[in-house]
Chain A
Amino acid sequence: MIEVKHYGQKKVGQWIITGLVLAWFFVLVFFPLFGIVKETIAYGLKAFIASLISPASLHAFWLTLLLTVVAVVLNTILGVVMAIMFARHHFKGKLLLETVLDLPFAVSPVVAGVMLIILFGPNGWIGNWFESMNIKIIYALPGMMLATIFVTIPFVTREILPVLREFGREQEEAASTLGASGWQTFWRVTLPSIKWALAYGITLTIARSIGEFGAVLVVSASIINKTQTATLLIHDQFTDFNYAGAFSAALVLAIVSFIIITVIQFVYKKKEKGLHNA
Protein backbone atom coordinates (compact mmCIF):
# COMPACT_ATOMS: atom_id res chain seq x y z
CA MET A 1 0.00 0.00 0.00
CA ILE A 2 2.64 2.46 1.10
CA GLU A 3 4.79 1.50 -1.89
CA VAL A 4 2.03 2.32 -4.33
CA LYS A 5 1.28 5.67 -2.75
CA HIS A 6 4.95 6.62 -2.82
CA TYR A 7 5.16 5.74 -6.48
CA GLY A 8 2.09 7.80 -7.30
CA GLN A 9 3.47 10.86 -5.51
CA LYS A 10 6.71 10.58 -7.40
CA LYS A 11 4.82 10.47 -10.68
CA VAL A 12 2.89 13.65 -9.95
CA GLY A 13 6.03 15.53 -8.93
CA GLN A 14 7.75 14.29 -12.05
CA TRP A 15 5.03 15.58 -14.32
CA ILE A 16 4.90 18.94 -12.60
CA ILE A 17 8.65 19.48 -12.99
CA THR A 18 8.61 18.25 -16.58
CA GLY A 19 5.68 20.53 -17.37
CA LEU A 20 7.38 23.54 -15.82
CA VAL A 21 10.63 22.90 -17.67
CA LEU A 22 8.85 22.45 -20.98
CA ALA A 23 6.80 25.60 -20.42
CA TRP A 24 9.95 27.58 -19.63
CA PHE A 25 11.67 26.16 -22.67
CA PHE A 26 8.81 27.09 -24.95
CA VAL A 27 8.51 30.62 -23.62
CA LEU A 28 12.24 31.27 -23.64
CA VAL A 29 13.41 29.53 -26.81
CA PHE A 30 10.48 28.46 -28.93
CA PHE A 31 8.16 31.47 -28.96
CA PRO A 32 10.83 33.90 -30.16
CA LEU A 33 11.74 31.52 -33.00
CA PHE A 34 8.12 31.28 -33.95
CA GLY A 35 7.78 35.08 -33.72
CA ILE A 36 10.47 35.75 -36.28
CA VAL A 37 8.94 33.32 -38.79
CA LYS A 38 5.54 34.93 -38.32
CA GLU A 39 6.97 38.42 -38.71
CA THR A 40 8.70 37.57 -41.99
CA ILE A 41 5.64 35.83 -43.40
CA ALA A 42 3.59 38.92 -42.61
CA TYR A 43 5.64 40.95 -45.10
CA GLY A 44 5.00 38.43 -47.87
CA LEU A 45 7.13 36.29 -50.11
CA LYS A 46 7.68 39.08 -52.63
CA ALA A 47 9.25 41.40 -50.10
CA PHE A 48 11.26 38.49 -48.74
CA ILE A 49 12.83 37.66 -52.10
CA ALA A 50 13.18 41.29 -53.18
CA SER A 51 15.14 42.21 -50.08
CA LEU A 52 17.36 39.16 -50.32
CA ILE A 53 18.42 39.68 -53.93
CA SER A 54 19.16 43.37 -53.54
CA PRO A 55 22.83 44.09 -54.36
CA ALA A 56 23.55 45.26 -50.80
CA SER A 57 22.22 42.09 -49.26
CA LEU A 58 23.88 39.80 -51.81
CA HIS A 59 27.17 41.52 -51.09
CA ALA A 60 26.62 41.24 -47.35
CA PHE A 61 25.96 37.51 -47.53
CA TRP A 62 28.96 37.08 -49.81
CA LEU A 63 31.17 38.91 -47.32
CA THR A 64 29.89 36.77 -44.44
CA LEU A 65 30.69 33.67 -46.47
CA LEU A 66 34.18 34.95 -47.21
CA LEU A 67 34.91 35.75 -43.55
CA THR A 68 33.58 32.36 -42.50
CA VAL A 69 35.75 30.50 -45.01
CA VAL A 70 38.88 32.39 -43.95
CA ALA A 71 38.21 31.79 -40.24
CA VAL A 72 37.40 28.12 -40.79
CA VAL A 73 40.47 27.39 -42.92
CA LEU A 74 42.93 29.17 -40.64
CA ASN A 75 41.44 28.00 -37.35
CA THR A 76 41.09 24.43 -38.56
CA ILE A 77 44.72 24.10 -39.62
CA LEU A 78 46.16 25.96 -36.65
CA GLY A 79 43.55 24.47 -34.32
CA VAL A 80 44.79 20.98 -35.15
CA VAL A 81 48.42 22.10 -34.79
CA MET A 82 47.73 23.62 -31.37
CA ALA A 83 45.78 20.56 -30.23
CA ILE A 84 48.69 18.30 -31.19
CA MET A 85 51.04 20.49 -29.22
CA PHE A 86 48.84 20.56 -26.13
CA ALA A 87 48.24 16.80 -26.27
CA ARG A 88 51.70 15.55 -27.21
CA HIS A 89 54.28 18.08 -26.04
CA HIS A 90 55.42 18.67 -22.50
CA PHE A 91 56.85 21.97 -21.38
CA LYS A 92 56.68 24.43 -18.55
CA GLY A 93 53.73 26.79 -18.63
CA LYS A 94 51.60 24.56 -20.83
CA LEU A 95 48.64 24.83 -18.49
CA LEU A 96 48.84 28.61 -18.52
CA LEU A 97 48.98 28.63 -22.30
CA GLU A 98 45.92 26.40 -22.43
CA THR A 99 44.04 28.88 -20.27
CA VAL A 100 45.16 31.73 -22.53
CA LEU A 101 43.75 29.83 -25.49
CA ASP A 102 40.28 30.01 -23.92
CA LEU A 103 40.35 33.79 -23.63
CA PRO A 104 38.55 34.51 -26.91
CA PHE A 105 35.51 32.72 -25.47
CA ALA A 106 35.58 34.74 -22.29
CA VAL A 107 36.29 38.17 -23.76
CA SER A 108 33.38 40.37 -24.79
CA PRO A 109 33.21 40.66 -28.60
CA VAL A 110 33.20 44.44 -28.28
CA VAL A 111 36.36 44.35 -26.15
CA ALA A 112 37.92 42.02 -28.73
CA GLY A 113 37.18 44.64 -31.36
CA VAL A 114 38.73 47.37 -29.21
CA MET A 115 41.86 45.25 -28.72
CA LEU A 116 42.20 44.84 -32.46
CA ILE A 117 41.79 48.59 -33.04
CA ILE A 118 44.52 49.32 -30.53
CA LEU A 119 46.90 46.79 -32.09
CA PHE A 120 46.07 47.13 -35.78
CA GLY A 121 44.57 50.63 -35.94
CA PRO A 122 46.48 53.39 -37.76
CA ASN A 123 48.33 54.30 -34.55
CA GLY A 124 48.66 50.74 -33.26
CA TRP A 125 51.81 48.71 -32.63
CA ILE A 126 51.35 46.68 -35.81
CA GLY A 127 48.88 48.93 -37.63
CA ASN A 128 51.48 51.67 -37.65
CA TRP A 129 53.73 49.58 -39.83
CA PHE A 130 50.96 48.58 -42.23
CA GLU A 131 49.85 52.21 -42.41
CA SER A 132 53.30 53.18 -43.67
CA MET A 133 52.89 50.54 -46.39
CA ASN A 134 49.50 52.07 -47.18
CA ILE A 135 47.60 48.97 -46.12
CA LYS A 136 44.41 49.53 -44.17
CA ILE A 137 43.46 46.89 -41.62
CA ILE A 138 40.91 48.42 -39.30
CA TYR A 139 37.68 49.62 -40.95
CA ALA A 140 38.61 47.33 -43.83
CA LEU A 141 38.41 43.67 -44.76
CA PRO A 142 41.60 42.44 -43.01
CA GLY A 143 40.38 43.80 -39.66
CA MET A 144 37.04 42.03 -40.06
CA MET A 145 38.88 38.82 -40.88
CA LEU A 146 41.01 39.20 -37.76
CA ALA A 147 37.90 39.80 -35.64
CA THR A 148 36.13 36.72 -36.98
CA ILE A 149 39.26 34.62 -36.57
CA PHE A 150 39.79 35.87 -33.00
CA VAL A 151 36.34 34.97 -31.70
CA THR A 152 36.54 31.44 -33.15
CA ILE A 153 40.15 30.46 -32.29
CA PRO A 154 39.48 27.93 -29.50
CA PHE A 155 36.64 25.86 -31.03
CA VAL A 156 38.62 23.29 -33.04
CA THR A 157 41.39 22.80 -30.47
CA ARG A 158 38.89 22.49 -27.60
CA GLU A 159 36.96 19.77 -29.43
CA ILE A 160 39.94 17.71 -30.61
CA LEU A 161 42.06 17.94 -27.48
CA PRO A 162 40.07 15.54 -25.26
CA VAL A 163 39.94 12.97 -28.06
CA LEU A 164 43.67 13.23 -28.70
CA ARG A 165 44.34 12.78 -24.99
CA GLU A 166 42.03 9.80 -24.69
CA PHE A 167 43.32 8.24 -27.87
CA GLY A 168 46.83 8.29 -26.47
CA ARG A 169 50.07 7.91 -28.26
CA GLU A 170 50.41 4.15 -28.64
CA GLN A 171 49.00 3.81 -32.14
CA GLU A 172 50.99 6.76 -33.41
CA GLU A 173 54.15 5.26 -31.94
CA ALA A 174 53.32 1.89 -33.44
CA ALA A 175 52.91 3.51 -36.85
CA SER A 176 56.22 5.32 -36.67
CA THR A 177 57.99 2.17 -35.41
CA LEU A 178 56.66 0.42 -38.48
CA GLY A 179 58.39 3.07 -40.57
CA ALA A 180 55.68 5.65 -41.17
CA SER A 181 56.82 9.24 -41.52
CA GLY A 182 55.37 11.99 -39.36
CA TRP A 183 53.03 13.06 -42.13
CA GLN A 184 51.90 9.51 -42.82
CA THR A 185 51.21 8.93 -39.14
CA PHE A 186 49.17 12.11 -39.01
CA TRP A 187 47.08 11.39 -42.12
CA ARG A 188 46.61 7.66 -41.58
CA VAL A 189 46.40 7.33 -37.79
CA THR A 190 45.82 10.61 -35.97
CA LEU A 191 43.38 12.30 -38.34
CA PRO A 192 40.94 9.38 -38.69
CA SER A 193 40.67 9.17 -34.92
CA ILE A 194 39.83 12.84 -34.47
CA LYS A 195 37.70 13.35 -37.55
CA TRP A 196 34.31 13.65 -35.84
CA ALA A 197 35.60 15.92 -33.11
CA LEU A 198 37.20 18.00 -35.84
CA ALA A 199 33.93 18.15 -37.76
CA TYR A 200 32.16 19.25 -34.60
CA GLY A 201 34.72 21.98 -33.96
CA ILE A 202 34.43 23.21 -37.54
CA THR A 203 30.63 23.32 -37.35
CA LEU A 204 30.82 25.44 -34.21
CA THR A 205 33.35 27.71 -35.90
CA ILE A 206 31.03 28.16 -38.89
CA ALA A 207 28.04 28.95 -36.69
CA ARG A 208 29.94 31.53 -34.69
CA SER A 209 31.54 33.15 -37.75
CA ILE A 210 28.21 33.56 -39.51
CA GLY A 211 26.58 35.05 -36.44
CA GLU A 212 29.40 37.25 -35.17
CA PHE A 213 28.27 40.81 -34.76
CA GLY A 214 29.91 42.80 -31.97
CA ALA A 215 33.58 42.27 -32.81
CA VAL A 216 33.06 42.76 -36.53
CA LEU A 217 30.90 45.85 -35.96
CA VAL A 218 33.61 47.57 -33.93
CA VAL A 219 36.38 47.03 -36.52
CA SER A 220 34.28 47.69 -39.61
CA ALA A 221 32.62 50.91 -40.54
CA SER A 222 29.58 48.94 -41.81
CA ILE A 223 29.75 50.55 -45.23
CA ILE A 224 27.11 49.20 -47.61
CA ASN A 225 28.55 47.08 -50.42
CA LYS A 226 31.97 47.31 -48.80
CA THR A 227 32.40 46.29 -45.19
CA GLN A 228 28.87 45.21 -44.39
CA THR A 229 28.35 41.57 -43.39
CA ALA A 230 24.95 39.91 -43.13
CA THR A 231 24.58 40.67 -39.41
CA LEU A 232 25.69 44.27 -39.93
CA LEU A 233 23.19 44.65 -42.75
CA ILE A 234 20.40 43.28 -40.55
CA HIS A 235 21.34 45.71 -37.80
CA ASP A 236 21.38 48.68 -40.18
CA GLN A 237 18.02 47.80 -41.67
CA PHE A 238 16.51 47.12 -38.27
CA THR A 239 17.61 50.47 -36.87
CA ASP A 240 16.35 52.17 -40.05
CA PHE A 241 12.92 50.59 -39.51
CA ASN A 242 13.30 48.57 -42.70
CA TYR A 243 11.75 45.59 -40.96
CA ALA A 244 10.92 43.60 -44.10
CA GLY A 245 14.58 43.58 -45.12
CA ALA A 246 15.92 43.01 -41.64
CA PHE A 247 13.63 40.11 -40.85
CA SER A 248 14.08 38.46 -44.25
CA ALA A 249 17.83 38.39 -43.80
CA ALA A 250 17.48 37.41 -40.14
CA LEU A 251 15.21 34.52 -41.09
CA VAL A 252 17.79 33.30 -43.58
CA LEU A 253 20.47 33.38 -40.88
CA ALA A 254 18.10 31.66 -38.44
CA ILE A 255 17.41 28.90 -40.98
CA VAL A 256 21.12 28.47 -41.63
CA SER A 257 21.64 28.24 -37.87
CA PHE A 258 18.90 25.68 -37.67
CA ILE A 259 20.59 23.56 -40.32
CA ILE A 260 23.91 23.95 -38.54
CA ILE A 261 22.42 22.87 -35.23
CA THR A 262 21.04 19.75 -36.89
CA VAL A 263 24.46 18.98 -38.32
CA ILE A 264 26.00 19.68 -34.91
CA GLN A 265 23.67 17.18 -33.27
CA PHE A 266 24.43 14.55 -35.88
CA VAL A 267 28.18 15.08 -35.69
CA TYR A 268 28.08 15.20 -31.89
CA LYS A 269 26.47 11.77 -31.72
CA LYS A 270 29.10 10.37 -34.09
CA LYS A 271 31.81 12.00 -32.00
CA GLU A 272 30.50 10.56 -28.73
CA LYS A 273 30.27 7.13 -30.30
CA GLY A 274 33.81 7.41 -31.63
CA LEU A 275 35.06 8.48 -28.24
CA HIS A 276 33.59 5.44 -26.57
CA ASN A 277 34.82 3.01 -29.20
CA ALA A 278 38.33 4.41 -29.30
Chain B
Amino acid sequence: MKNNRTARKGKVAKLSYGDLTVRGLSFLYIGLMIVLPIAAITAASFKGGPGHLWKQILQPQALSSLKLTFLLALVMVVINVITGTATAWVLVRYRFPFKNTINALVDIPFAIPTLVTGMMLVVLYGPRSVLGIFLQNHGIEVIYNKPGIILALLFVTFPFVVRSIQPVLMEMEKDMEEAALTLGASKRQSFFRVVLPTLLPSILTGAALSFSRALGEFGSIVVVAGNIPFKTQVSAVYIYGEVESENLQGALGSAVVLLAFSLLTLVILNLIQRWSSKYD
Protein backbone atom coordinates (compact mmCIF):
# COMPACT_ATOMS: atom_id res chain seq x y z
CA MET B 1 0.00 0.00 0.00
CA LYS B 2 2.95 2.32 0.54
CA ASN B 3 4.38 2.71 -2.91
CA ASN B 4 1.17 3.12 -4.76
CA ARG B 5 1.07 5.01 -7.95
CA THR B 6 -1.91 7.13 -8.71
CA ALA B 7 -1.25 6.01 -12.20
CA ARG B 8 -2.94 8.84 -14.00
CA LYS B 9 -0.77 10.36 -16.68
CA GLY B 10 2.16 8.29 -15.42
CA LYS B 11 2.69 10.57 -12.47
CA VAL B 12 4.09 8.88 -9.42
CA ALA B 13 2.32 10.59 -6.57
CA LYS B 14 2.24 9.82 -2.90
CA LEU B 15 -1.17 9.05 -1.50
CA SER B 16 -2.57 11.86 0.58
CA TYR B 17 -3.87 11.24 4.08
CA GLY B 18 -7.39 11.38 2.72
CA ASP B 19 -6.59 8.75 0.10
CA LEU B 20 -4.93 6.58 2.70
CA THR B 21 -7.98 6.79 4.94
CA VAL B 22 -10.30 5.88 2.07
CA ARG B 23 -8.09 2.97 1.03
CA GLY B 24 -7.53 1.75 4.57
CA LEU B 25 -11.20 1.86 5.56
CA SER B 26 -12.31 0.11 2.37
CA PHE B 27 -9.74 -2.67 2.70
CA LEU B 28 -10.58 -3.12 6.37
CA TYR B 29 -14.32 -3.28 5.72
CA ILE B 30 -14.19 -5.67 2.79
CA GLY B 31 -11.54 -7.73 4.55
CA LEU B 32 -13.35 -7.99 7.86
CA MET B 33 -16.92 -8.30 6.61
CA ILE B 34 -16.54 -10.35 3.43
CA VAL B 35 -13.11 -11.95 3.00
CA LEU B 36 -12.66 -13.10 6.59
CA PRO B 37 -16.05 -14.88 6.91
CA ILE B 38 -15.38 -16.69 3.63
CA ALA B 39 -11.88 -17.65 4.73
CA ALA B 40 -13.32 -18.89 8.02
CA ILE B 41 -15.99 -21.08 6.44
CA THR B 42 -13.50 -22.48 3.92
CA ALA B 43 -10.99 -23.27 6.65
CA ALA B 44 -13.66 -24.82 8.86
CA SER B 45 -14.98 -27.06 6.11
CA PHE B 46 -11.52 -28.32 5.14
CA LYS B 47 -10.60 -28.94 8.76
CA GLY B 48 -11.15 -32.68 8.55
CA GLY B 49 -9.40 -32.87 5.17
CA PRO B 50 -10.93 -32.81 1.68
CA GLY B 51 -12.06 -36.44 2.01
CA HIS B 52 -14.18 -35.61 5.00
CA LEU B 53 -15.70 -32.60 3.26
CA TRP B 54 -16.49 -34.72 0.23
CA LYS B 55 -18.26 -37.20 2.49
CA GLN B 56 -20.36 -34.40 3.98
CA ILE B 57 -21.37 -33.25 0.50
CA LEU B 58 -22.28 -36.78 -0.59
CA GLN B 59 -24.34 -37.53 2.50
CA PRO B 60 -27.64 -38.81 1.05
CA GLN B 61 -29.92 -36.15 2.49
CA ALA B 62 -27.49 -33.31 1.71
CA LEU B 63 -26.92 -34.56 -1.82
CA SER B 64 -30.62 -35.06 -2.48
CA SER B 65 -31.42 -31.49 -1.41
CA LEU B 66 -28.55 -30.15 -3.51
CA LYS B 67 -29.88 -32.02 -6.54
CA LEU B 68 -33.40 -30.71 -5.95
CA THR B 69 -32.10 -27.16 -5.54
CA PHE B 70 -30.24 -27.23 -8.85
CA LEU B 71 -33.08 -28.92 -10.71
CA LEU B 72 -35.72 -26.45 -9.53
CA ALA B 73 -33.42 -23.49 -10.16
CA LEU B 74 -32.89 -24.73 -13.70
CA VAL B 75 -36.62 -25.12 -14.36
CA MET B 76 -37.18 -21.63 -12.98
CA VAL B 77 -34.45 -20.11 -15.17
CA VAL B 78 -35.92 -21.61 -18.35
CA ILE B 79 -39.38 -20.20 -17.57
CA ASN B 80 -37.99 -16.90 -16.38
CA VAL B 81 -35.86 -16.31 -19.46
CA ILE B 82 -38.89 -16.72 -21.72
CA THR B 83 -41.38 -14.73 -19.65
CA GLY B 84 -38.80 -12.13 -18.64
CA THR B 85 -37.72 -11.48 -22.23
CA ALA B 86 -41.36 -11.23 -23.31
CA THR B 87 -42.13 -8.85 -20.45
CA ALA B 88 -39.18 -6.60 -21.22
CA TRP B 89 -40.11 -6.64 -24.91
CA VAL B 90 -43.72 -5.66 -24.26
CA LEU B 91 -42.71 -2.97 -21.78
CA VAL B 92 -40.25 -1.38 -24.19
CA ARG B 93 -41.86 -1.84 -27.57
CA TYR B 94 -45.63 -1.77 -27.12
CA ARG B 95 -48.09 0.71 -25.74
CA PHE B 96 -50.97 -0.31 -23.51
CA PRO B 97 -52.98 1.13 -20.62
CA PHE B 98 -51.26 1.33 -17.20
CA LYS B 99 -47.92 0.55 -18.75
CA ASN B 100 -46.01 2.81 -16.35
CA THR B 101 -47.73 1.31 -13.33
CA ILE B 102 -46.96 -2.23 -14.46
CA ASN B 103 -43.38 -1.21 -15.16
CA ALA B 104 -43.05 0.15 -11.63
CA LEU B 105 -44.58 -2.98 -10.12
CA VAL B 106 -41.98 -5.23 -11.75
CA ASP B 107 -39.66 -4.40 -8.84
CA ILE B 108 -42.19 -5.45 -6.19
CA PRO B 109 -40.59 -8.87 -5.62
CA PHE B 110 -37.31 -7.16 -4.65
CA ALA B 111 -39.05 -5.03 -2.03
CA ILE B 112 -41.32 -7.63 -0.45
CA PRO B 113 -39.69 -9.72 2.28
CA THR B 114 -39.18 -13.23 0.94
CA LEU B 115 -40.94 -14.73 3.95
CA VAL B 116 -44.03 -12.69 3.10
CA THR B 117 -43.76 -13.93 -0.49
CA GLY B 118 -43.97 -17.49 0.75
CA MET B 119 -46.98 -16.72 2.91
CA MET B 120 -48.74 -15.02 0.01
CA LEU B 121 -48.33 -18.17 -2.06
CA VAL B 122 -49.65 -20.32 0.77
CA VAL B 123 -52.71 -18.08 1.06
CA LEU B 124 -53.34 -18.22 -2.66
CA TYR B 125 -52.62 -21.85 -3.49
CA GLY B 126 -52.63 -23.49 -0.07
CA PRO B 127 -54.97 -26.26 1.03
CA ARG B 128 -57.32 -23.75 2.66
CA SER B 129 -57.86 -21.58 -0.42
CA VAL B 130 -60.51 -22.01 -3.10
CA LEU B 131 -57.86 -22.23 -5.78
CA GLY B 132 -55.79 -24.69 -3.76
CA ILE B 133 -58.79 -26.97 -3.20
CA PHE B 134 -59.69 -26.78 -6.87
CA LEU B 135 -56.15 -27.71 -7.93
CA GLN B 136 -55.97 -30.49 -5.37
CA ASN B 137 -59.19 -32.00 -6.70
CA HIS B 138 -57.47 -32.14 -10.06
CA GLY B 139 -54.46 -33.86 -8.59
CA ILE B 140 -52.15 -30.87 -8.54
CA GLU B 141 -50.48 -30.11 -5.24
CA VAL B 142 -48.81 -26.71 -5.39
CA ILE B 143 -48.04 -25.85 -1.78
CA TYR B 144 -45.84 -28.26 0.17
CA ASN B 145 -44.63 -29.57 -3.16
CA LYS B 146 -42.31 -28.70 -6.04
CA PRO B 147 -44.64 -26.43 -8.06
CA GLY B 148 -44.90 -24.17 -5.01
CA ILE B 149 -41.12 -23.92 -4.77
CA ILE B 150 -40.85 -23.08 -8.47
CA LEU B 151 -43.56 -20.43 -8.09
CA ALA B 152 -41.70 -18.91 -5.14
CA LEU B 153 -38.45 -18.87 -7.11
CA LEU B 154 -40.18 -17.34 -10.12
CA PHE B 155 -41.60 -14.60 -7.94
CA VAL B 156 -38.41 -13.62 -6.15
CA THR B 157 -36.30 -13.64 -9.35
CA PHE B 158 -38.87 -12.11 -11.71
CA PRO B 159 -37.21 -8.65 -11.91
CA PHE B 160 -33.70 -9.93 -12.71
CA VAL B 161 -34.23 -10.91 -16.35
CA VAL B 162 -36.66 -8.07 -17.10
CA ARG B 163 -34.42 -5.42 -15.61
CA SER B 164 -31.25 -6.62 -17.29
CA ILE B 165 -32.83 -6.79 -20.75
CA GLN B 166 -34.89 -3.59 -20.58
CA PRO B 167 -32.08 -1.02 -20.84
CA VAL B 168 -30.38 -2.89 -23.71
CA LEU B 169 -33.66 -3.11 -25.58
CA MET B 170 -34.28 0.58 -25.02
CA GLU B 171 -30.85 1.51 -26.33
CA MET B 172 -31.05 -0.82 -29.28
CA GLU B 173 -32.06 1.26 -32.23
CA LYS B 174 -34.76 -0.07 -34.42
CA ASP B 175 -32.49 0.77 -37.39
CA MET B 176 -30.77 -2.58 -37.47
CA GLU B 177 -34.01 -4.49 -37.41
CA GLU B 178 -35.48 -2.25 -40.06
CA ALA B 179 -32.36 -2.65 -42.18
CA ALA B 180 -32.72 -6.41 -41.92
CA LEU B 181 -36.39 -6.17 -42.90
CA THR B 182 -35.60 -3.88 -45.85
CA LEU B 183 -32.95 -6.31 -47.03
CA GLY B 184 -35.68 -8.92 -47.27
CA ALA B 185 -35.40 -10.74 -43.96
CA SER B 186 -38.65 -12.04 -42.53
CA LYS B 187 -39.81 -10.82 -39.12
CA ARG B 188 -38.76 -14.12 -37.63
CA GLN B 189 -35.33 -13.92 -39.26
CA SER B 190 -34.75 -10.38 -38.07
CA PHE B 191 -35.71 -11.39 -34.54
CA PHE B 192 -33.49 -14.46 -34.38
CA ARG B 193 -30.54 -13.06 -36.37
CA VAL B 194 -30.50 -9.42 -35.26
CA VAL B 195 -32.47 -8.83 -32.07
CA LEU B 196 -31.70 -11.99 -30.12
CA PRO B 197 -27.89 -11.90 -30.56
CA THR B 198 -27.85 -8.30 -29.32
CA LEU B 199 -29.94 -9.22 -26.30
CA LEU B 200 -28.06 -12.43 -25.54
CA PRO B 201 -25.53 -11.02 -23.05
CA SER B 202 -28.25 -9.32 -21.02
CA ILE B 203 -30.45 -12.43 -21.14
CA LEU B 204 -27.52 -14.50 -19.86
CA THR B 205 -26.82 -11.94 -17.15
CA GLY B 206 -30.43 -12.10 -16.00
CA ALA B 207 -30.37 -15.89 -16.11
CA ALA B 208 -27.14 -16.09 -14.08
CA LEU B 209 -28.46 -13.66 -11.49
CA SER B 210 -31.74 -15.51 -11.07
CA PHE B 211 -30.03 -18.91 -10.99
CA SER B 212 -27.65 -17.82 -8.26
CA ARG B 213 -30.44 -16.24 -6.29
CA ALA B 214 -32.52 -19.40 -6.61
CA LEU B 215 -29.71 -21.63 -5.31
CA GLY B 216 -29.57 -19.66 -2.08
CA GLU B 217 -33.23 -18.75 -1.65
CA PHE B 218 -34.57 -19.57 1.79
CA GLY B 219 -37.28 -17.29 3.17
CA SER B 220 -39.98 -17.91 0.59
CA ILE B 221 -39.23 -21.62 0.22
CA VAL B 222 -39.17 -22.55 3.88
CA VAL B 223 -42.85 -21.61 4.17
CA VAL B 224 -43.98 -23.07 0.88
CA ALA B 225 -42.04 -26.29 0.52
CA GLY B 226 -43.08 -28.42 3.46
CA ASN B 227 -39.37 -29.28 3.69
CA ILE B 228 -39.70 -33.05 3.55
CA PRO B 229 -36.23 -34.63 3.31
CA PHE B 230 -35.57 -36.40 -0.03
CA LYS B 231 -38.71 -34.81 -1.45
CA THR B 232 -39.16 -31.07 -0.99
CA GLN B 233 -36.14 -30.03 1.05
CA VAL B 234 -33.81 -27.61 -0.71
CA SER B 235 -30.20 -27.02 0.29
CA ALA B 236 -30.66 -23.75 2.16
CA VAL B 237 -33.38 -25.35 4.29
CA TYR B 238 -31.21 -28.43 4.87
CA ILE B 239 -28.33 -26.20 6.03
CA TYR B 240 -30.64 -24.34 8.38
CA GLY B 241 -31.91 -27.63 9.80
CA GLU B 242 -28.37 -28.83 10.49
CA VAL B 243 -27.47 -25.54 12.21
CA GLU B 244 -30.64 -25.75 14.30
CA SER B 245 -29.79 -29.27 15.44
CA GLU B 246 -26.33 -28.00 16.40
CA ASN B 247 -24.60 -30.00 13.69
CA LEU B 248 -22.65 -27.15 12.12
CA GLN B 249 -20.13 -29.54 10.57
CA GLY B 250 -22.92 -31.33 8.70
CA ALA B 251 -24.08 -28.04 7.23
CA LEU B 252 -20.66 -27.10 5.92
CA GLY B 253 -20.58 -29.51 2.95
CA SER B 254 -23.70 -28.08 1.33
CA ALA B 255 -22.77 -24.54 2.39
CA VAL B 256 -19.42 -24.81 0.62
CA VAL B 257 -21.06 -26.12 -2.56
CA LEU B 258 -23.53 -23.20 -2.57
CA LEU B 259 -20.70 -20.77 -1.84
CA ALA B 260 -18.60 -22.18 -4.70
CA PHE B 261 -21.50 -21.66 -7.09
CA SER B 262 -21.98 -18.10 -5.83
CA LEU B 263 -18.34 -17.41 -6.67
CA LEU B 264 -18.70 -19.12 -10.03
CA THR B 265 -21.74 -16.96 -10.84
CA LEU B 266 -19.76 -13.80 -10.13
CA VAL B 267 -16.94 -14.97 -12.40
CA ILE B 268 -19.42 -15.83 -15.16
CA LEU B 269 -21.15 -12.44 -14.81
CA ASN B 270 -17.76 -10.74 -15.12
CA LEU B 271 -16.96 -12.74 -18.25
CA ILE B 272 -20.33 -11.91 -19.82
CA GLN B 273 -19.78 -8.25 -19.09
CA ARG B 274 -16.35 -8.27 -20.68
CA TRP B 275 -17.58 -10.27 -23.64
CA SER B 276 -20.50 -7.92 -24.31
CA SER B 277 -18.46 -4.73 -23.85
CA LYS B 278 -16.26 -5.96 -26.72
CA TYR B 279 -19.18 -5.22 -29.04
CA ASP B 280 -19.80 -1.71 -27.78
Contact with A along B239-280 (1 / 0, CB 8 A): 110010000100110010011001101110110000000000
Q: Which of the residues B19, B108, B216, B222 comes within 8 Å of A108, measured between beta carbons?
A: B216
Residues of B with C-beta under 8 A to A247: 119, 123
Nearest Cβ distance between residue A59 and chain B, in whole angstroms?
18
Listed stretches A17-25, A48-56, A191-199; interface member: A17-25
Q: A39 interface residue, CB < 8 Å from B?
A: yes
Q: Is B108 a contact of A33 with CB atoms below 8 Å?
A: yes
**Contacts A39-B123, A261-B104: A218 and B243 contacting too (C-beta < 8 A)?**
yes
Most interface-central of A29, A31, A113, A261 (chain B CB within 10 A): A29
Residue of B nearest to A206 (CB): B111
Contact with A along B126-148 (1 / 0, CB 8 A): 00010000000000000000000
Contact with A along B213-247 (1 / 0, CB 8 A): 00111110011000000000001110110010000
Q: Is B111 a contact of A257 with CB atoms below 8 Å?
A: yes
**Contacts A82-B29, A111-B259: A257 and B108 contacting too (C-beta < 8 A)?**
yes
Nearest Cβ distance between residue B227 and chain A, in whole angstroms?
11
Interface residues of A in 37-53 (CB under 8 A from B): 38-39
Q: Is B108 a contact of A24 with CB atoms below 8 Å?
A: no
Nearest Cβ distance between residue A163 and chain B, in whole angstroms?
15
Q: Is A118 a contact of B248 with CB atoms below 8 Å?
A: yes
Q: A2 interface residue, CB < 8 Å from B?
A: no
Q: Is A153 a contact of B108 with CB atoms below 8 Å?
A: no
Contact with B along A113-129 (1 / 0, CB 8 A): 11111110000111000
Q: Is B22 a contact of A85 with CB atoms below 8 Å?
A: yes
Residues of B with C-beta under 8 A to A90: 5-8
Q: Is A21 a contact of B116 with CB atoms below 8 Å?
A: no
Residues of A with C-beta under 8 A to B33: 146, 149-150, 153
Most interface-central of B8, B104, B116, B263 (chain A CB within 10 A): B116
Q: Is B29 a contact of A21 with CB atoms below 8 Å?
A: no
Contact with B along A247-273 (1 / 0, CB 8 A): 100100110011011101100000000
Compute how far the CA of A38 lies from the CA of B5 in the bound complex, rounded to whole angstroms: 62
Contact with B along A190-233 (1 / 0, CB 8 A): 00000000000000100100111110011000000000000100
Residue of A nearest to B4 (CB): A91
Residues of B with C-beta under 8 A to A246: 119
Residues of B with C-beta under 8 A to A21: 83, 86-87, 90
Residues of A with C-beta under 8 A to B240: 110, 214, 217-218
Q: Which of the residues B119, B124, B258, B259 comes within 8 Å of A234, measured between beta carbons?
A: B119
Interface residues of A in 123-178 (CB under 8 A from B): 124-126, 146, 149-150, 153
Residues of B with C-beta under 8 A to A146: 33
Q: Is B124 a contact of A32 with CB atoms below 8 Å?
A: yes
**Contacts A21-B90, A32-B121, A118-B44: A257 and B113 contacting too (C-beta < 8 A)?**
yes
Compute how far the CA of A39 lies from the CA of B124 in the bound complex, rounded to whole angstroms: 9
**Contacts A114-B243, A260-B111: A106 and B154 contacting too (C-beta < 8 A)?**
no
Compute how far the CA of A118 lies from the CA of B120 in the bound complex, rounded to whole angstroms: 33
Q: Is B26 a contact of A17 with CB atoms below 8 Å?
A: no
Q: B41 interface residue, CB < 8 Å from A?
A: yes
Q: 25 A-B residue contacts at CB 8 Å? A: A22-B96, A24-B86, A25-B106, A28-B158, A29-B108, A31-B124, A33-B120, A36-B120, A78-B29, A103-B262, A107-B259, A108-B255, A109-B219, A110-B218, A114-B239, A114-B248, A114-B251, A114-B252, A207-B111, A211-B116, A211-B219, A212-B113, A250-B116, A258-B108, A260-B111
3 A-B pairs closest in CB distance: A108-B216, A211-B113, A32-B120
Interface set of B (CB-CB < 8 Å, partner A) = 4-8, 16, 18-19, 22-23, 25-26, 29-30, 33-38, 40-41, 44, 83, 86-87, 89-90, 94, 96, 102, 104-117, 119-121, 123-124, 129, 151, 154-155, 158, 187, 212, 215-219, 222-223, 235-237, 239-240, 243, 248, 251-252, 255, 258-259, 262-263, 265-267, 269-270
